[in-house]
Amino acid sequence: MSSATTAVRDQAGGTGPFRFFARDFTASIVVFLVAMPLCMGIAIASGVPPEKGLVTGIIGGIVVGLLAGSPLQVSGPAAGLAVIVFEFVRDNGLSALGPVLVLAGAIQVIAGVAKLGGAFRAISPAVVHGMLAGIGALIVIGQFHILFDEKPLSSGPENLAMMPARLLGLTPFNLQSTEFALMLGLLTIGTMIAWEKFKPARLGLLPGALLGVLAATLVASGFGLEVARITVPESIAAAFALPEAGAFSILGNSSLILSAIAIAFIASAETLLSAAAVDRMHDGVRTDYNKELRAQGVGNLLCGVFNALPMTGVIVRSSANVQAGAMTRLSAVLHGVWILGFVAMLPFVLREVPMAALGGVLVVTGWKLVSLKQVRHLFHVYGLLPALIWTATFLLVVTTDLLTGVLVGLALSVVELLPLVRNLKFRVTEHSVGDAVSLKLEGAATFLGLTRLTNALDQLPQGRNVQLDLASVHAIDHTTAEMLSEWVARRRLRGDDVKVVGQDRVISYFAQPA
């Protein structure tokens, strides 16, 4: 049994959250350094003051960290919601965001209480990754203008159309604030890329985003460059602004209720996707999806009360947490404490950071979300339809809006069921075969039965060999196949012998069929 398994199980068994304090303490510092530039950068990409992102990071660390169903996941403002928040604030004003977030948080809490957390795992990975890629592209296109100390325009196509004018407007022989800002943004991007490629093994956990922002800030201050810098309130208390009197009356507007539902849905999907990814990084306790959903709801409700940004579980911070050796939820909690302390005691340091440097951080972050590797994987393994779902979701998110892209992607996912519409029955049965436990699947293994299947997989005893019997499966969609292949790989990594038996066309999805 690995140290991570022992640690998380000890924590779950009640040996005390401070048993691994040294490991959690050092991991929390790493996560804090990763989170600081991202909290501010995502706030700026969302069209709100940077302190709103810091408030969300504080709540995500301290409150959600204590309540989370995924102990090693770290929550905070997410790039995945930046576009929808930007459009919402542009159309409705910042004052409307708080009440909508309160409603979105309440929806998440209710969904968690109703045990709907597992249902989000049935969302097609083609839709989820297409959505994230579209968001990444919009962030890159929008933050391109921040590199020039200019504000992004109101839509992705408009931002894209304006990009050549920004470049043609440069005057290399008469350097002004625009040219200096672009240099600082490119310095940030270059530092991040170079660090990722050439960083020494001993300093591997030092985040490139922090080094990029630090380099740009030192150059801007050292040369006294006249570029736009971030604004931070004199007192942290000013960042925790309560909604104005009568603010919640706007929730009578049906379009705002729809916005709350959209934020709750997308935040929940991104959180649970991140939690599933974190589960693959360690062999300890699995995520309690319903508990995680309730914790995220409480966090977003509080973010609404303080008129901050919405939050999700975030894979960048979470992976840094696991890689830095975190053992319990204490690491996530402490990282929130460090953000609070830094903003309370050293706000003057943040005021020296150029806006273009944060734009550079977001350009790199957005670019990483545009993963063409994912669509190639879907095409080569599962065929044309999942790749088309990814492409349609991506293009519609970029050219129309986030909700349209996701809804069309979900609708296209149903097309995969059309050939099976007369025979969608699905059964899962468990029985022992010698020393192993056998899980037999029968019928059409589609996303409609995924919640039932994941519950059965989660209840299989740990440390026992498993036989996954797919002989009676006459069809399997890409959502189920992807989930099963990840589950099989995870069990095998933990040392369990997992045998997959059945028809060749079904078991071909798995890396090591037997």
Convert the pLDDT of each residue in 370-405 to its tens digit.
Answer: 889 989 999 999 999 999 999 999 999 999 887 789
Handedness of CA 465, 326, 72, 274 (dihedral sign): negative
Do the bridges between strand 75-77 and strand 311-313 make them parallel or antiparallel, or are there none, so unpaired? antiparallel
Q: Can you tell me the mean pLDDT for 161-169?
A: 93
Residues in the chain, total = 514
> What's the pLDDT at 433?
78
Give yes or no for residue 253 having a pLDDT over 70. yes
Answer whether residue 485 is part of any domain: yes
Element (H, E) at 161: helix 156-168
Indicate if 220 and 88 belong to the same structural domain.
yes
Q: Are strands 498-502 and 426-433 parallel, antiparallel or unpaired?
A: unpaired
Going by C-alpha positions, the residue among 27, 29, 28, 52 that lies closest to residue 40 is: 52
Give the mean model confidence (pLDDT) for residues 279-305: 89
Q: Of 227, 43, 217, 46, whose CA–CA distance to 150 is shortest? A: 227
Q: Tell me what pLDDT residue 174 has.
A: 77
Q: What is the pLDDT of residue 464?
A: 86
Residue of 190, 209, 514 whose CA lies nearest to 361: 209
Tell me how far apart the alpha carbons of residues 17 and 7 are, in angstroms, rounded to a whole number.
10
Last residue of a domain, one of 295, 323, 355: 355
Residue 416 lies in a domain: no
Cite the beta strand spans of 115-267 per DSSP E.
Answer: none
Instruction: Show Cβ contacts of residue 463 under 8 Å, excluding neighbours closer than 6 positions.
Output: 496
* pLDDT > 50? residue 513: no
- pTM here is 0.82
Count of structural domains within the chain? 2
Q: What is the pLDDT of residue 13?
A: 37
Q: Is residue 392 part of a domain?
A: no
The more confident residue out of 212 and 269 is 212
CA angle 337, 339, 340 (to 5 degrees): 65
The predicted pLDDT at position 176 comes to 87
Q: Are residues 440 and 315 in the same domain?
A: no
Q: What is the CATH number of the domain that holds 456?
A: 3.30.750.24
Task: Decide if 181 is inside a domain.
Answer: yes
Give the mean model confidence (pLDDT) for residues 341-367. 91
Read off the pLDDT of residues 189-247 as tens digits, 9 standing for 90 and up.
999 999 999 999 888 888 899 999 999 999 999 999 999 998 888 777 888 888 777 77
Instruction: Give me the residue label for tokens 């989820």.
Output: 128
pLDDT at res. 510: 66
Name the nearest CA neighbour of 227 among 46, 143, 49, 352.
Answer: 352
* Strand 498-502 relative to strand 466-476, pairing: parallel
Q: What is the pLDDT of residues 430-485, one digit of tens each?
A: 988 778 899 999 999 999 999 899 889 988 887 889 999 999 999 899 999 988 98
Tokens describing residue 434: 């010698």
In this predicted structure, what is the pLDDT of residue 6? 40
- State pLDDT tens for residues 299-332: 999 999 999 999 999 888 898 898 888 899 999 9
Last residue of a domain, one of 320, 355, 390: 355
Contact status, residue 347 vs residue 224, Cβ threshold 8 Å:
no
Identify whether residues 457 and 313 lie together within a single domain: no
Nearest-5° Cα angle at 17, 11 to 19? 85
Q: Are 69 and 295 in contact (CB under 8 A)?
A: yes
360 part of a folded domain = no
Same domain, 324 and 441: no
Mean pLDDT of 273-279: 81
For the chain, the average pLDDT equals 88
7-16, 349-358, 479-488 — which is least confidently predicted?
A: 7-16
Closest Cα partner for 55 from 75, 69, 72, 73? 75
Q: Is residue 470 part of a domain?
A: yes
Report the relative pairing of strands 75-77 and 426-433 from DSSP bridges.
unpaired
What pLDDT sits at residue 490?
79
**Sign of the CA dihedral 284, 287, 291, 297?**
positive
Whole-number Å distance between alpha carbons of 204 and 199: 6
| Domain assignment of residue 280, given as a range | 3-11+19-331+351-355
Q: Residues of the chain with pLDDT > 70: what percent?
A: 95
Does residue 411 fall inside a structural domain? no
Q: How many helices (H) and strands (E) does the chain have?
A: 23, 6
Q: Is residue 419 part of a domain?
A: no
